[in-house]
Amino acid sequence: MGIDITYTDSGQGPAILLLHGYPFDRSMWSEQIDFLSGQGFRAIAPDLMGRKGTIITMDQMARDSAALLDELKIEDAVVCGLSMGGYVAFEFAHLFPARVRGLILAGTRAPADSEQEKQTRFQQCEKMLAEGMEPIADATLPKLLAPRTLAEKPDVVARVREMIVKADPSGATAAQHGMAARRDYSGDLAKINVQTLVIVGREDPIRPVADSEFMRDQIHNSRLEIIEDAAHMTNMEQPEAFNQALPDFLRLIH
Ligand code: MLT
């Protein structure tokens, strides 16, 4: 049985699969979609949290992304994931190594959750099912965005807030359960044999720089880009800096 996936497909050329974070949607990539399609690439960005059910696993999100590429007749892609999208990218690389031309891992990490982190997710699920997404937005914005973004970029703050508030609490809950159940990807890192760009915000309290240094150290052909004046949402907070890192990296591959 097929599933419906909402997605953006923009530009022509080698494909870049853009996998969003939690609890966001593909609109978080709009600056990268415009940039990449203007640079001769084809940007594909699915919404990942649309499945019905009590859990959406990282494996399902990766398989759904591969099914989308099948539908679009795309053999392989550079796979770029931010945070939860990074976990999906790890699963995608594990399941479909031949379809991965390169990896971009932004604001993510390899290890699985601790018991405490799982409990925190389940508490958040109860809260969002009972109260909706507004309180989640209020509580998480100061961690998602750097102080400078919060003070100087009201449009970015508003966009991030709107994505969270618009998210369906049952889809977000299912994704939280999927993240809690995800495996430890640390053992996968040394097996990655494609060029990899690791990106992190200097001020990310959610997935700090040390998580990215670990990935850079374990993945053979990798480099690390630290984005200043950004926390978790590097690609939205500092789109110029994020985009600037892409062409050199993509030229290594294509
Ligand atoms: C995300 O931005 O996707 C989340 O912070 C990931 C997570 O909760 O582990």
Q: What residue ranges do the domains of the chain occupy?
A: 7-253
**How many angstroms is it from 148 CA to the middle of ligand 1?**
21
For residue 86 and ligand 1, the question of a CB distance below 6 A is answered with no
Residue 17's SS3 state is strand
Q: What is the pLDDT of residue 1?
A: 55
For residue 206 and ligand 1, the question of a CB distance below 6 A is answered with yes
Average pLDDT of span 194-212:
98
**Hey, what are 206's tokens?**
């959610």
Residue 51's SS3 state is coil
Q: What is the pLDDT of residue 27?
A: 98
From edge to edge, which strands make up the β-sheet containing 15-19?
A: 7-10, 42-46, 15-19, 77-82, 100-106, 196-201, 222-227
CA distance 103 to 165: 30
Other C-beta atoms closer than 10 Å to the C-beta of 12 total: 9
**How many angstroms is it from 105 CA to the middle of ligand 1?**
13
Q: What is the pLDDT of residue 235?
A: 98
- Predicted confidence (pLDDT) at residue 172 exceeds the cutoff of 80: yes
Ligand 1 atom, smallest distance to 21 CA: 3
Q: What is the pLDDT of residue 204?
A: 98
- Predicted confidence (pLDDT) at residue 2 exceeds the cutoff of 90: no
Q: Which one is predicted more confidently, 84 or 3?
A: 84
- Predicted confidence (pLDDT) at residue 182 exceeds the cutoff of 70: yes
For residue 249 and ligand 1, the question of a CB distance below 6 A is answered with no
Average pLDDT of span 104-128:
98
What does pTM read for this prediction?
0.98
Q: What is the pLDDT of residue 21?
A: 98
Average pLDDT of span 209-232:
98
Q: What angle do CA 77, 211, 208 make, to 5 degrees?
A: 110
Q: What is the pLDDT of residue 3?
A: 79
**How many angstroms is it from 83 CA to the middle of ligand 1?**
5
The dotted CATH code for 7-253 is 3.40.50.1820
Q: What is the pLDDT of residue 10?
A: 98
Per residue in 237-253, pLDDT (tens digit) is 999 999 999 999 998 89
**Hey, what are 34's tokens?**
């415009």
Omega cis (within 30) before 208: no
Q: What is the pLDDT of residue 254?
A: 81
Substitution candidate for ligand 1 out of 49, 84, 88 with most atoms within 8 A of CB: 84
Per residue in 17-53, pLDDT (tens digit) is 999 999 999 999 999 999 999 999 999 999 999 999 9
pLDDT, mean over the chain? 97
